[in-house]
Amino acid sequence: DGDELRYSIEELSKYMPAVQSIACVPVGLTKYRDGLFPMQPYTKKTAGEVIDIIEEYSEKFKKQYGARVCYPSDELFLKAERPMPSEEYYDDYPQIDNGVGLWTSLRDEFFYELSVCEKAPTHKSVTVITGVAAYPLIKELCDAAHEKYGIDVQTEKIINNFFGENITVAGLLTGTDLIEQMRGKIRGELLLIPIVMTIDYTSHSTENNKFLDDITLKEAEKALNVKIIPVKNNGQDYFIIYWE
């Protein structure tokens, strides 16, 4: 942060255009930190300061290279309580695999699909879970699907007790927390989970797939008595599941 962040960006910029993009992502602080270097999670103020530094450089890079090159992660905007940027900000999303611009991309894709699809959904009642960070977005999308199609969508956020409540991204949620927090609360015929919760996040299949804590998706389905569908991190996937 601060001068060190400036130093890192300036050193990396020496390798441009070979270095095509830089993601600035806050470190994840688990509850297992005994004996480790003391670090503090970001606050609204400190996250905003980091964004301001990044954007100082990204504006300069935009003029020089035609792209921002350096991008704050979605978590920083959430921590700073600032609006998510528009699609144009992300220059075709070069860092989306690192969660940079994922919020904007997913939201735009979902609402596009919502605007063009008129046929009735196959599934009328589902439960959707996500992590604390993405919950406001997923709730907004599910509420929009309910408003247009009358789908009964229950949206729930899972607290990360396994790694600690400071970890709010869906990709680090475990099967243990999912089962403990959703047992007896499932509504509908499907449970949609972010595919990044699983070890194999390339497929919708639950066969031989498992969570970070080695609980299999089949075990979670049995414990919760519901069919689990892993959903990819794009708006189209979140949308079309209702029609499959």
Query: Could you tell me if 62 and 160 lie in one domain?
Result: no
Query: Could you tell me if 6 and 56 lie in one domain?
Result: yes
Query: Could you tell me if 80 and 40 lie in one domain?
Result: yes
Q: How confident is the model at residue 181 (pLDDT cuts 50, 70, 90)?
A: very high
Q: How confident is the model at residue 117 (pLDDT cuts 50, 70, 90)?
A: confident
Query: Could you tell me if 24 and 144 lie in one domain?
Result: no
3-state secondary structure of 210: strand
CATH of the domain at 112: 3.40.50
Q: Kindly state the percentage of the chain with pLDDT values over 70.
A: 96
* Distance, CA of 23 to CA of 72 (rounded, Å): 6
3-state SS of 56-93? HHHHHHHHHHCCCCEEECHHHHHHHCCCCCCHHHHCCC
Q: pTM for this one? A: 0.90
Residue 96: pLDDT above 90? yes
Query: Could you tell me if 177 and 196 lie in one domain?
Result: yes
Query: Could you tell me if 14 and 81 lie in one domain?
Result: yes
Residue 184: pLDDT above 70? yes
Domain count, the chain: 2
Residue 79: pLDDT above 90? yes
Query: Could you tell me if 140 and 85 lie in one domain?
Result: no
Query: Could you tell me if 197 and 217 lie in one domain?
Result: yes
Query: Could you tell me if 81 and 127 lie in one domain?
Result: no
Query: Could you tell me if 201 and 220 lie in one domain?
Result: yes
Among the ranges given (27-31, 91-95, 178-182), the one the predictor scored with the smallest mean pLDDT: 27-31
Which of residues 60, 79, 99 is at a domain's end?
99
Which of residues 81, 99, 117 is at a domain's end?
99
* Distance, CA of 208 to CA of 165 (rounded, Å): 28
* Residue 26 structural domain: 2-99
* Distance, CA of 152 to CA of 147 (rounded, Å): 10
Indicate the helix (H) or strand (E) that contains 179: helix 175-182
In this predicted model, what pLDDT tens digit does every residue of 198-235 receive, in sequence order? 998 776 666 779 999 999 999 999 999 999 999 988 88
Residue 238: pLDDT above 80? no
Query: Could you tell me if 200 and 94 lie in one domain?
Result: no
Q: How confident is the model at residue 3 (pLDDT cuts 50, 70, 90)?
A: very high
Residue 193: pLDDT above 90? yes
Number of other residues whose CB lies within 10 A of the CB of residue 180: 14
Tell me the average pLDDT across 84-93: 97
Pull the structure tokens for residue 45. Answer: 């103020």
Query: Could you tell me if 90 and 146 lie in one domain?
Result: no
Number of other residues whose CB lies within 10 A of the CB of residue 3: 8
Which of residues 99, 123, 141 is at a domain's end?
99
